[in-house]
Structure 1
Amino acid sequence: MKKKIEKALEKVIFIDNKNIVESGLVKKIDLLSNEIIIYLSLSNPAMHLKNRLIKEITHSIKNQNILDTIRIKMEIKSDTKTKSVIKNIIAIASGKGGVGKSTIATNIAVSLVKMGFHVGLLDADIYGPSIPLMFNIEEKSVNFQHKNGMMNPITSYGVKILSIGFFSKYGQAIVWRGPMVTKVLRQFMHETNWGKLDFLIVDLPPGTGDIHLSLLQEISLKGIVIVSTSQKIALSDVNRSVGMFRIRSISVPILGIIENMSYVFSKKTKEKCYFFGKNGVRNFSKKMNIFFLGEIPMLQKIREYSDLGIPVILENEHIRNIFLKITENIIHKLQL
């Protein structure tokens, strides 16, 4: 019977085009009277990867006609240094740069703090870290304390923050290849004393590259929030991002999409002027079956406070209400 089970497991491909047996993920197979227990050892498995693995193992064993009399029970062990407890990890993504993703990640994080949650913010945009600017955290003011190989994040406005910008001078180019970026992000995620968090917001870089794939393999994401403006060039790039998140081997839930810089107010008539086009993101969300989380206007106050390193929701009631509504929509989509 074990030979038959092993043969089934050899058909399950996980990472680097290797099956889970040759990758050394299968540590032991126990046969009891009415069940199979398969012991797997995974390093920091993301939730969607675990779910896919369980599904594919079940399917493969069923094809071997084993499930007629045997029930499967699986134990997946994760080896991590961190003792952090993070309930919900949400990534903020965009297809195109310059659409205000970091501004939105910042204000969603602070909105959650104002709602009474414990919140962390991981700046995963290695090549263009913006979060230190958004919180006015200067590199020279950062004094990291390491204990047992663990980093402690910097707390600002109630948010625990970690960014590569804390380790580099302002404007310094980060010229790293993919493996180096992956190593650093793994340290940020698993060798940081995040403590107990209700939410960890991950500010992703734009596009669909190494950083995204590495994080999606390392982090148990509850979902993705996408940010875009309404013009076709931005939505074209967002379409590619949606395609990546919906690839079968990745398959991360998209919680919704936000339309940023949606409109400006005319000085004369006070009417809304749709600088990037009207309802572009809303129409895109319907076409792609993605929940529309809300729209954020293009206001000078948002730019001014972002440049000062102050989350704008703390200073402007109108903008605060917009972000609180969007944040409530995200929480609702999580079904918390």
Structure 2
Amino acid sequence: MSDFISQKQQIIKALETVFIDNNKQNIIQSGMVEKIDIDENEIIIFIKLYHPTMHVKQKLKENIFKTIDIYNNNIKQKVRLQIAKKLNYNRNNNKKIHGIKHIIAIASGKGGVGKSMVSTNISVTLANMGFNVGLLDADIYGPSIPILFNIKEKDVYSGRITKKEGTESYILKPIVKNKVHIQSIGFFSKSGQAIVWRGPMASKALHQLIHETEWGYLDFLIIDLPPGTSDIHLSILQYLSMTGVVMVSTPQKLSLSDVHRSIGMFRINTIYVPIIGIIENMSLIDTSKDLCETNKNTVKEFSIKFDLFFLGKIPMLKEIQEYSDLGIPVVLKHYTIQQIFLKITKNIISKLS
């Protein structure tokens, strides 16, 4: 037993020299090493990371094995690392909105991949499951949510904006459609009107939509992010404590290239947000198989490479476009698509638990 204790002390001493991502604390100080198990045949080091990408894990493994070899020449057992993902849902508690349990962003990095359609149908699916749901259209320059819910100018009733007495702040009321509480900059501009704002002005408007909307109690606030990695994204991460982000991509390499950049943004230490998983939208249909089966696994392969949970595939069907153009969430009309979104949504919920 004393030999095992001595070995453990030597291993801890070695691990105190291992750092990750320019962190000022070593992996022992930062709490990444959960425990070390030692027996006659094997030494197992249990590690939990907040962002275990493949290259981070590989570099960490190399550093640990190299360091243990240097510090412990007498070790005869096989050394094994067990690295697990740790989602930091309690980070930035001061940025939480009172009454909202989970804030989930839907992101892509690229326009035209159906992100707003996915946000719409996940929101409606959650609402139909019995949850209280809000949907924020954060695309200041190209709001799509009013179209996808068929909310027209005449539907944006007066009295939605009231000023707080003695302050410069306002109270904004969301529009409720299909049991979803919806807020969008599109409710405050005319159809077809170009919003020509610089970054700071757009960020200020977004701050108002987030914090001055009377959301009430919500189990989920879904945020439909704009494409790219811009001021808007940084502002949202500054204003809010996110539960996590869901990535959306089509199977094309061009789309995945932009998604890769977005993943890099969300995994930066200073603005880190857990990535819940990735959805493949507009999957090509293999007519020799069931509707839900596709003949492309590009996004799934991408998810494995970058250590992302694969949430599911949405086939490219004309009914999705037709119902979206009518402003009707397709999950309310198409049973197969409804079941696909139900499975994806359940996968998202399971990752939160």
State the TM-score, normalized to the length of structure 1: 0.72
Cα distance in 1 for residues equivalent to 2:222 and 2:189: 22
Q: Pick the aligned partner of 2:125 from 111, 116, 132.
A: 111
Cα distance in 1 for residues equivalent to 2:317 and 2:156: 31
- Kindly indicate whether residue 119 of structure 2 is the aligned counterpart of residue 98 of structure 1: no
- Kindly indicate whether residue 252 of structure 2 is the aligned counterpart of residue 231 of structure 1: yes
- Kindly indicate whether residue 272 of structure 2 is the aligned counterpart of residue 251 of structure 1: yes
Q: CA deviation at 1:79?
A: 9.2
Larger radius of gyration: 2
Pairwise CA RMSD: 2.2
Partner of 2:173: 152
| CA offset digits 1:174-218 (Å, max 9, x no partner) | 110011111111111111100000000000001100000000010
Partner of 1:301: 319
| CA offset digits 1:141-176 (Å, max 9, x no partner) | 201423422100000000000001111111211110
Q: Percent identity between the aligned chains?
A: 62
- Kindly indicate whether residue 176 of structure 2 is the aligned counterpart of residue 161 of structure 1: no
When the two structures are aligned, how many residues end up with a matched partner? 256
Amino acid of the residue matched to residue 98 of structure 1? G
Query: Deviation above 4 Å: which 4+ runs of structure 1?
Result: 76-80, 269-275
Partner of 2:148: 134
Partner of 1:326: 344
- Kindly indicate whether residue 299 of structure 2 is the aligned counterpart of residue 281 of structure 1: yes
Amino acid of the residue matched to residue 116 of structure 1? G
Cα distance in 2 for residues equivalent to 1:316 and 1:77: 39
Amino acid of the residue matched to residue 158 of structure 1? K
Q: CA deviation at 1:279?
A: 0.8
CA contact 1:263–1:272 (8 Å) conserved in 2: no
CA contact 1:224–1:254 (8 Å) conserved in 2: yes
Partner of 1:201: 222
| CA offset digits 1:219-241 (Å, max 9, x no partner) | 11000000000111000000000
Q: Pick the aligned partner of 1:125 from 139, 151, 155.
A: 139
Which of 237-246 and 257-266 deviates more? 257-266
Task: List alignment gaps of at least 5 residues for structure 1.
Answer: 1-47, 49-75
Cα distance in 2 for residues equivalent to 1:192 and 1:286: 38
Amino acid of the residue matched to residue 262 of structure 2? S
| CA offset digits 1:100-138 (Å, max 9, x no partner) | 000000000000001000000000001110000000001
CA contact 1:124–1:205 (8 Å) conserved in 2: yes
Q: CA deviation at 1:94?
A: 0.3
CA contact 2:95–2:239 (8 Å) conserved in 1: no
Amino acid of the residue matched to residue 260 of structure 1? N
Partner of 1:89: 103
CA contact 1:228–1:281 (8 Å) conserved in 2: yes
Q: Pick the aligned partner of 2:235 from 214, 217, 221.
A: 214
